[in-house]
Amino acid sequence: MSSVTSPACDAPFQTADGLYNYGKLYLSFHEPLVFGEITNLKPYTLDKLVVLCYQESARRLGWGNGHTSRIFKGQFGYDGYASSIGNLLANYKRGMSYEEMGKYIHNGWSAIYWYWRDNKPYVKDSRYIKPRNSLGDKRRDECAATEYHELNKDEKFKNVVIIDCLVKLLNL
């Protein structure tokens, strides 16, 4: 049985590099509020955004069954989504283009990729899970080292799916 089949009881509460807290709340973006509209705001934790964006990616990119695909705190993939989303939302400004948002998504993923590859957080902290596929392969190294605007269309599309999901959920 794989050690990745269920979440750890003692799951981490932040990305391995410590930059993004999984419990941080994000509200949907709206124009200036009037009193009656305040109830329309819906809060999402970073954790919930990660799960929803991953499920949408799984569905749209054909990763198994998008409705049952799961991702857990402590996995590299989870941190990849958390860092991508966290980096975009930390830098988001109303009216950003998809290209601008894609840059922040990609830079967040690249930063956590390098961190996991070089620091192997699962060695020092048992709450993090060793990736099934070793990090440091040519494709991911090249992707992480490439600026967003130079990525091929397939790699860019992975970011676009996350952006689409966040636009829908947070009214970006």
Q: pLDDT at position 3, please?
A: 34
Domain spans, the chain? 25-170
Q: pLDDT at position 9, please?
A: 57
pTM beyond 0.85: yes
DSSP string, 11-63: --SB-TTS--BTT-EEEPP-SSP-GGGGGG--EEEHHHHHHHHHHHHHHHHT-
Q: pLDDT at position 28, please?
A: 78
Bridge pairing between strands 43-45 and 25-27: antiparallel
Q: pLDDT at position 35, please?
A: 52
Quick: pLDDT tens for 96-143. 999 999 999 999 999 999 999 999 999 999 999 999 889 999 999 999
Which stretches in the chain have pLDDT values below 50? 1-8, 66-67
